[in-house]
Chains A and B, each alone.
Chain A
Amino acid sequence: MKQTIVIAGAAGEGINTVELFIERILKQNGYELFSYKNYMSRVRGGYNFSTIVVSESPVFATVDKADIFIALNREAHDNAEAQMVSNGLLITEERMPDLKEVSRSKNAFAMAAVGAVLKIFGIHEDELHKIKSKKWADDVNLENYKSAKYGYDQFALKHLPPRGGEGRILINGNQAVAFGALSAGLSFYCAYPMAPSTGIMTTLATYEKEQKIIVEQAEDEIAAVMAAVGASSNGVRAMTGTSGGGFALMVETLGFAAVSETPVVICNVQRPGPATGLPTRTEQADLAFTVTASQGEFSRIVLAPLTVEDAFYDTHRAFNLADEFQVPVIILTDQLLADTTQTVERFDTASLKNERHLLEAVVEDYKRYDFTRVSGGRKYPGLDPQTLIMTDSHVHDEYGHVTEAIEPTIQLKQKFLNRTGAIKSALKKPELYGSTDYETLFITWGSTYGALREAVDQLNDDGKSVAMLAFSDVFPIHPDVMKPYLKEGVKVINVEGNAMNQFGMILRMETGTLFDHAINKYDGRPFTSQYIIEKFEVIQHD
């Protein structure tokens, strides 16, 4: 069983509330969910929708056409046919003629729709009492319950909830990044609001007091990242988050973090560019920029979580890598991942370690920038009671003082080369998924994993032999990384959410791997497995 629910209407009409109740109650009854928000860059009005894919087994991608369509207004009703499967179920106000007699609340239909969905998915009537919020007055909660009950009674049961689901959590990509940072011991988060990254800051601010952290809204992104580096230089784990336009402003500080060997974690939640682009839509088009941003040559790490779950673990790992190699680590997610809410296994915090790679003991003649040390051994002001630390942005000697001499200039560069080499060996290998004797190998990175994984399953079920190689650790790339996977006669298809095959380009540059075909998507909307399969079939027939 796999059913897709679309809730459509204008901003401010309750899409989020309907979605929240449906997701929470279905999840509590053991269903697996994958939901994605499709919204316009405006505060009220417009045409927005959320897509919730419901199944008994984990879901990895969104779906284009709805089985159940909830139209919160006339425009949504008009769009329903185009967004539904041919035999889909349309839930509209017209189908609930007596609702006005039950409740005159402006939310009556939205709540009735929640009740309808719960009935269809076989949820027990008692669960309707969960449709309430502490934020609302008692009479509002009562009205909502009555409407939901009405909706519940209008529809017939179609599915039965699966057992299990214990220990599963419902979380979106931005929250997972925020939680990953908290688990890593984040102390200071400084950012400037920018869609679709703001959710990270909002999540952290929500728990600021309990976690004893500081979340600071900066005057601009230039300040945000520099403040994070400043905080890190004084010993705490610090982070910033933004989208492409804000990341463009942060670029000068990337090089500063690298040359001053100050760990910092930056999350770029990509949206389509260039310039203002499509503020609330999705794309994977900042990769080439991210791996080369800032003047000069230096070491950096770019991680692109494949899933919501990875967003948590990769963010945790980002902090350890940043501390180990004293480099900027950029986490590259996108609006799809940020606004995807998914049921995932409760994060296993007991398995995690926060590794700071510090040198706490007082040592004679400490060299903050020892040219031979590519990892660890860091001190910051106050770590020991004696050592003075100079953090510097120039070419400097091993103590951090400015120099223009030839020898340290070369040694600093060689240090970066050695460091990048060490990083390449420390990063995770790509995940191979699908048929072991594959004839086609898809290559992808980041959030496109989900749709491609489902496409691979479907194609193999249909008798094809395909596999995918998914990269979460996208930069730097080890030159031998592709060797185990490339075989005679295997067709390589590059799949990514941009027009110019940016990861394919990096892979070719670093490993010499060529792809035979490419499947791209650059309409601001996420990949679906169906889209990939259709494109694959076109390639097969060529």
Chain B
Amino acid sequence: MEKNHPINFHLNSVGLKTLLTDKMMIIAYLFLALAAFGVIEMIYERYFLLSATAFDAGLNPGNRDVANAMKEAVFGHGGEVKREAPWSLYIVSYMYMIYVGSGIIFLVAMAELFEIEIIVKPAAGFLTLGLGMLFAGLFTIMMDLNVLNVHWMLLSPQYGSGMWLMMPLYMVYIPLVILEIYLILNHQKEWIKKVAFMIIVVGVLVEFVEFYVQAKLFDMNSARHLWTTYPILPLYFMVSSFAASLAIMGLYAYLVCKSQILMHTLERGALYFVLALGAYEAIAYLFIDKKWAEIILFGSFKYYFYLYILLAVIIPFALLFKHYLNKYFKLVASLSIIVGTFLGKMIFVYGGNAYPMSDRFGVGFEKYGEYEEVKEVIFFMPPLSEIAIVIGSIGVILFIFRVADLFFSVSVVEDKN
């Protein structure tokens, strides 16, 4: 494609045709179309599907719609959110995208600070990628929330709530990242350094706050002991995120920068975090409440857990611990980490809800009706709309990255200096 000013910060002129026919954009659109399908489904079910209360029959006597709604309520699948497992795939995806995205930003900022040239060169691309992931995460979480009421986050703030702290956090964080990308593209070298230093300081601070807040978000749920007994939860989040961040950066290096050396460097980094993650999980389960640990390690979650360890730790370790030069090994290792850590987050979120809250009297799980079965483990398949939105959110990353690339050439690695 044609650039007006390949070096200086300028807006490329991009035709509508390019925006529509660009290969990467088409892939982004496909993902976004999937997300759109999910969103429409979700909106329909959440806001338009008739749901019946005890009053409805009296308020609309003989109404067939109400009758059908009542039938659905009693004999149907029971609504979008399951009371025993309120947090689901949305939260998994949100956590993953946000952590891994901000992990990338954090790592790039560090590289800027310590002048690790190999990473600094494609910094704008990395940062845009990270930013894209942040937005993808925010997109999924917005779909999970009742967006009609989100303004109350501003109008009725609750400073002590982990959930609320997310908002000011990203309100500071995202502009900061955009600022940095801007500076990089503008070649304000000195500024970069200064700003990068500032960003590093603020960024590291925010980063730690973020991981702390996220951990708080889970840790405040005192009843879900998986989350409360995980030792140094923010550290766990960081370790697993950095592993995934480096894997994604590696993938980026391979696909966009086409730089094997860069990839190699990043994968080395990933290896350390993978090892740290493995060590972490091994130690963590010594501390985790055994009710949850049993379900995850030996109960119905065990195969998912093994798969997680296999993908996130064992396979990458096997492929990376020697300096294999085969790029495919590294590619597979990256993909394995990316999928594995996602699975890890899933186990974390779903696992937290896995042990039912219904053992209120300490004499066994309670059932709510005579003919119901006792639930000893809680797991619900997420609805199709949710899966579509989560997968479709990849489109958000691709879209943001590609648009930024087309207009601002963020992926261009300039070798002038």
The finding on whether chains A and B are genuine partners in a shared complex, rather than unrelated, reads: no
